[in-house]
Structure 1
Amino acid sequence: MITYSDYTAIIDADGTKHTFEEGVQTDKARQRYEHIQKELDDGYLEEQIHDVATTGTHLDTELSEQHQALIDDLIDGVSDGAGRSLAGLAVVQLTIKSIAPDQNIRLHKGSQRSDHFGWKEGISFRTIDSTHIAPALREYDLLYVNKDGVMMTRSLAENYPYSQVYKASLRGPRDAWGTLVEAIERSDSSLAPEPALRYLLLALVNRGSYAQEISQDLLDAVENLRNKGTSPDQIFDVIQRHIRQSPHSDRVLKIALHALYQVLEDNDHLSGVSPTGGTLQPPEFTPLPDADIDGHNPAITVTHPSDASHIHTAWDVNTGRLDMAAKLDQLEGLLQAHPEIQRLGVIVENGPSVDPAIDDRLATIEDQHNVEICITTFDDLCKELLEELVSAGVDYSQWLIAYAETLIHRRRNRAPLNEPTREWVEILTDVIEDEF
């Protein structure tokens, strides 16, 4: 970055030079500013927050894994003492860019008065923040910031364009924030602002200020229950009741099964294979979120340790009424695409079929594909796996720990949930506290 008497220049690593002139705000910048204010007055940000905060199936995102990781680094760098201003500033910048893509989010000051500093193409971030962004973040308990906004932080108000070489001293995840700014403003950027904003808001819903509080409440409740003394049946009952009381219980059931497999892996009870597949890093569990394997969508896959593309075991979770004939068609398709599968399980709500025709077809598929097919209930499968852990002397309450830590995003390296989990966390805390 080079500063001159009336403009600032930022030079990219490839030598590309960007110049930002100081002076009275241009008419185009003023029009962009008025458009942004109108959209925010009409509730743009609140609608985005409400949308991502409503529990549903996992949030589809257009962001690359690289950009998701960048925003994760930004949020994970927030602590009680540092990082909140940078996270809040990122919300300001992505909101502005989502509403007005032509507005450069490096230029945080703009004025129509010649005696006030500003960039000709800049706008007042401070006004936008104090009027709209900070109130929304505080109202929805996403981030504890100054009521007048993060732009009241002196280090964010220096007369330099925002960049990786911004001259002021910043505390917190500065590298992640600076890299995000560069990713947004690159001329060849593939980062779409609105999906990035939605992912950032979801991260704050799940891991922001209030989320950290309720997450600690859940961990305290789990520890109190374990200290009180539990049985395998009680742990199972707590998780089962939580599933039944939660919205989108079919999704929560898959998360619970995933957490149990995490414990099996941690205690070497997967017979030499590791649960994986989908979007996570092998040899970890997938899919969470749900993955599409050649047009098929099992809830948990277990792959061979030597080749993560080869599935050893696949569990297909089903809730509600099931057309078993249609399900068998799907399973045959999966087996044709992955002939290496050795065990294929179908979890149903009401137990195995007693239809002789279905049983005969199951036997035929097993013979043709040299595979074991197991049809069971979630209750029976989990109790079987729990019994295996208990027989080996493993602390069965690890399941509840893994389940809780997955829901509060403490295990994102193994199970990154791309949906809001706050309501699930609060319900689990209540279920556990009912045990006292």
Structure 2
Amino acid sequence: MKYKNDEFQKHLRVFEDRSEYFTDENNVEMFPEGVISAEAKKRIKKVRNAFENSFLDKLIIDLSSGKESVDVAAISEAASISVNGLVDSLTSEVGRALIGLSVMQLCVKSIEPSQNIRLHKGSSNRASFSWVEGISMRTLDKKHVTPTLRKYDLLRLNADGFMMTRSLAENYPYTFLYKAYLRGAREQWLTLVEEVEKKNTSAIETLKYLLSRLINAASEFVDTANVLLDLAHKYVTINSDKKSISSVLRQHSENSDYAARLLEINMHSLMQTASESGAFGVAEVKPLSQMRSANKKHGNIGDIELLEDGQIIESWDAKYGKGYLREEIEEAVEKLQHHEFVDTVGFVTNVHIERTEEISKRIFEIEQLYSITLKVLSYDDWVEMVFRRALEVGTVSEEELAQKWFITYCEYLSQKRRQNAPIDEPCLGWINSLTSIIKIAQ
């Protein structure tokens, strides 16, 4: 058979008793139609039991409280882009059904990896349409998924569920060739299905990522974030000196879950603020990397980096609770061979620096070998250094820089500056703890 331009095109063949999905010339997925199999019944029971035992509730609660985190290194780039597109498409009128469906499909795949999430109908009734290996997604939606998402105000859905939407109920598997008209991020949803079914992405980590994005977009989060920002603006009119601001931010990280991540956010917000004052000339601060993203995969040297013409020229790594950094220094050296324009590589720690003779000697060797400056600084000394560089430019006062730093940090946590800091961990707990610290400090 010839195809347009003699190139293979994805296609779906529909027979009386089955569908065949051709993804490329060498791969075809077969979907027999009929009463569900005994194996499908076992899978459905496992999924149903997990939902009845609060699988989704527990995940939302643990993500919101910080007990669970997202391993973004286990999520494919296509899946990450798709999740972002789904959440960003959410409006009062469109996008909700596809997001709810995505949550359910990722739950099903996380609970029972062998269940195909393209097959949204499964029944023992011979008079009803069913795939032999399908699952009744409408039932799961109405009993478990929609009620849970409504309970936590993550998605405003009709109580009857998103699967009541007729366009999601066509008797065709969910593939790129699903022809029904769908409002919202259709392409992103179908890409997500493809990534999961092809095992390109971790279903559970992708699910946690999607839920985290929804938690950060929920009305409770927005209201709480606005309270923080209002308090922050009032706070800096009274406490605008560098020492006070630095102390509050350090206290916040040391009294919150995932303190190491907050130190990164703290440092990045100061570098971004200094950059906006003109401290680094034409160099720009690279957007903050996602939590637990693999440095080697993303080409990073450290947590905070300055770029010039797209090349890393300066890098700083936040090392919470670590004073002896020989291993970290050697890891950075391994990365230098891929970054020929680097001038400065530094490490910042919030504890006493163990500058043994061994480490001092090694730093000197590295500086000579690679013609770079290698620094190990305490958090306080690093803050002083950044302030000094910004003040030397003469476009901002120390008080203005401190104020802007604090507001930028709060905006990062409040999801107001995702272009600089795409923080995908649920930030509600961090916002609440910082709000409490500000109230006490006032």
* TM-score, normalising length: structure 1: 0.77
Give ranges in structure 2 of 5+ residues lacking alignment: 1-10
The reply on whether 1:349 has 2:350 as its aligned counterpart is yes
Equivalent residues of 2:78, 2:195 under 8 A apart: no
Q: CA deviation at 1:410?
A: 4.1
Summarize the Cα distance change of 1:49–1:359 in structure 2 as closer, same or farther, 3 Å threshold: same
Summarize the Cα distance change of 1:183–1:235 in structure 2 as closer, same or farther, 3 Å threshold: same
- Once residues 128 and 221 of structure 2 are traced to their aligned partners in structure 1, the CA distance between those partners, rounded to angstroms, is 40
Which of the numbers 179, 182, 198 marks the counterpart of 2:208? 198
1:18-417 paired onto structure 2 within 5 Å: 24-49=35-60, 52-53=63-64, 54-55=66-67, 59-157=71-169, 160-164=172-176, 166=178, 168-185=180-197, 190-225=200-235, 228=237, 231-233=240-242, 234-276=244-286, 284-285=287-288, 289=292, 291-292=294-295, 298-303=302-307, 305-306=308-309, 308=311, 311-320=312-321, 322-323=323-324, 341-349=342-350, 366=367, 370-386=371-387, 388-389=389-390, 391-393=394-396, 395-396=400-401, 397-417=403-423
Q: CA deviation at 1:127?
A: 1.7
Equivalent residues of 1:97, 1:103 under 8 A apart: yes
- Once residues 339 and 34 of structure 2 are traced to their aligned partners in structure 1, the CA distance between those partners, rounded to angstroms, is 64
SS at match of 2:314: strand
- The C-alpha deviation readout for 1:30-56, integer Å capped at 9, x for no partner, is 343223223333444445445545356
Task: Return the letter of the residue paired with 2:318.
Answer: V
SS at match of 1:231: coil
- The C-alpha deviation readout for 1:272-318, integer Å capped at 9, x for no partner, is 43344xxxxxxx45586565359996332334x2462xx43232333
Q: CA deviation at 1:72?
A: 1.4
Summarize the Cα distance change of 1:224–1:84 in structure 2 as closer, same or farther, 3 Å threshold: farther
Q: CA deviation at 1:145?
A: 3.3
- Once residues 355 and 117 of structure 2 are traced to their aligned partners in structure 1, the CA distance between those partners, rounded to angstroms, is 63
Equivalent residues of 1:275, 1:286 under 8 A apart: no
Summarize the Cα distance change of 1:357–1:408 in structure 2 as closer, same or farther, 3 Å threshold: same
Give ranges in structure 1 of 5+ residues lacking alignment: 277-283
Task: Return the letter of the residue paired with 2:154.
Answer: L
Q: CA deviation at 1:27?
A: 4.0
Task: Return the letter of the residue paired with 2:348.
Answer: I
Q: CA deviation at 1:411?
A: 3.9
Q: CA deviation at 1:184?
A: 3.9
- The C-alpha deviation readout for 1:346-372, integer Å capped at 9, x for no partner, is 323356678788767766765565443
Q: CA deviation at 1:190?
A: 2.7
Q: CA deviation at 1:62?
A: 1.9
- Once residues 341 and 320 of structure 2 are traced to their aligned partners in structure 1, the CA distance between those partners, rounded to angstroms, is 27
- The C-alpha deviation readout for 1:14-73, integer Å capped at 9, x for no partner, is 698877666544444334322322333344444544554535676254221121111111
Q: CA deviation at 1:74?
A: 1.0
Equivalent residues of 2:71, 2:291 under 8 A apart: no
Equivalent residues of 2:78, 2:192 under 8 A apart: no
Summarize the Cα distance change of 1:184–1:10 in structure 2 as closer, same or farther, 3 Å threshold: farther
* TM-score, normalising length: structure 2: 0.76
SS at match of 2:295: coil
Q: CA deviation at 1:77?
A: 1.5
Deviates more, 1:365-374 or 1:170-179: 365-374
SS at match of 1:376: strand
Summarize the Cα distance change of 1:5–1:14 in structure 2 as closer, same or farther, 3 Å threshold: closer
Q: Count matched residues.
A: 423
Equivalent residues of 1:56, 1:420 under 8 A apart: no
Equivalent residues of 2:412, 2:421 under 8 A apart: yes
Identity %: 31
Summarize the Cα distance change of 1:402–1:341 in structure 2 as closer, same or farther, 3 Å threshold: same
